[in-house]
């Protein structure tokens, strides 16, 4: 069977800007600063995600794509992610440009092009966070919502922030949330964190500062913390006549969600 190279980059490093909450306070200044209330909300979220062992995330995504003469157009899609810590993950990404499945069974990760009947597989490290890091380092694949999945895997991803600001409260899908803004070297991002005993991220906005047009990404998240799981969902069996291809080495390339 003829083998061809593949580089699939599913980047979340873009976002859609959103207006600040109408209950603004402690608005971030131009100086680097860490707001105590904002950091407390982020810490609650991070600590809670670390307690999750099995969960499903459904997200609705809008993402800017840059076309000729730096014009921004918006692409849309949905992502369904099922995680069973420490070593199982299945995701389905259905967007304007892609229809892909991502399957990880603790030993191998596979990307399957739904409808196109091609797939690529590679050995992978034995935990979800390590697998996500390895896929990014080796192939340039930035998995959607990887930060939240890695937080659930007990990784600390809040160390490199230079500014954190609290923007007040806002309701997302009827749920009252803390609205927090974060600055890092290459991106600015906002997250809306549920205020009750399950401080889950309900909305995420990311703006990429390294590109002149500052493309943006926005997603709303719906969580299921007690999903029904069929173990077969984490195992990949190639469909009849599926063509196996190989991953290309890392090369920065963006795609819609």
CA 215 vs CA 14, 147, 155, 197, 202: distances in Å? 5, 19, 27, 34, 21
> What strands, in cross-sheet order, belong to the sheet with 99-104?
163-172, 175-183, 187-194, 201-208, 216-224, 54-67, 71-84, 88-95, 99-104, 108-113, 118-123, 243-244
Superfamily of domain 5-247: Lipoprotein localisation LolA/LolB/LppX (2.50.20.10)
Nearest CA to 205 out of 32, 214, 81 is that of 214
- What's the chain's average pLDDT? 83
Q: Mean pLDDT across the stretch 6-30?
A: 33
More confident site: 100 or 161:
100
CB atoms within 10 A of CB 231: 9
User: What pLDDT was estimated at residue 153?
Assistant: 83
Cβ-contact 9, 255 below 8 angstroms: yes
CB contact burial 5-37 (16+ within 10 A = b; e otherwise):
eebbbbbbbbbbeeeebeeeebebeeeeeebee
Nearest CA to 173 out of 207, 217, 223 is that of 223
Q: Where are the domains of the chain?
A: 5-247
* 32 contacts: CB under 8 Å, gap ≥ 6: 162, 163, 183
Please determine, for residue 27, whether its predicted confidence score (pLDDT) is greater than 60.
no
Percent of the chain whose pLDDT exceeds 90 = 60
User: What pLDDT was estimated at residue 104?
Assistant: 97
């Amino acid at each position: 069977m003829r083998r061809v190279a593949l580089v699939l980059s599913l980047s979340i490093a873009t976002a859609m800007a959103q207006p600040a909450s109408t209950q603004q306070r402690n608005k971030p200044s131009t100086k680097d600063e860490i707001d105590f209330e904002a950091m407390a909300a982020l810490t609650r979220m991070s600590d809670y995600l670390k307690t999750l062992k099995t969960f499903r995330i459904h997200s609705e995504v809008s993402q800017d794509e840059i076309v000729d003469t730096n014009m921004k157009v918006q692409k849309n899609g949905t992502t369904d992610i099922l995680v069973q810590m420490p070593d199982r993950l299945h995701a389905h990404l259905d967007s304007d440009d892609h229809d892909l499945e991502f399957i990880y069974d603790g030993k191998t990760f596979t990307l399957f092009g739904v409808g196109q009947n091609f797939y690529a597989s590679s050995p992978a490290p034995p935990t979800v966070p390590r697998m996500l890091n390895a896929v990014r380092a080796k192939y340039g694949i930035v998995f959607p919502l990887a930060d939240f999945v890695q937080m659930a895997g007990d990784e600390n991803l809040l160390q490199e922030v230079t500014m954190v600001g609290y923007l007040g409260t806002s309701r997302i899908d009827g749920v009252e949330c803390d609205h927090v803004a974060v600055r890092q070297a290459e991106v600015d991002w906002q997250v809306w964190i549920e205020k009750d005993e399950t401080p889950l991220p309900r909305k995420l906005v990311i703006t990429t500062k390294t590109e002149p047009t500052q493309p943006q990404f926005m997603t709303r998240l719906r969580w299921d913390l007690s999903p029904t799981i069929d173990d077969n969902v984490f195992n990949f069996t190639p469909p009849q006549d599926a063509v196996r291809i190989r991953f290309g080495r890392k090369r920065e390339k963006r795609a819609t969600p």
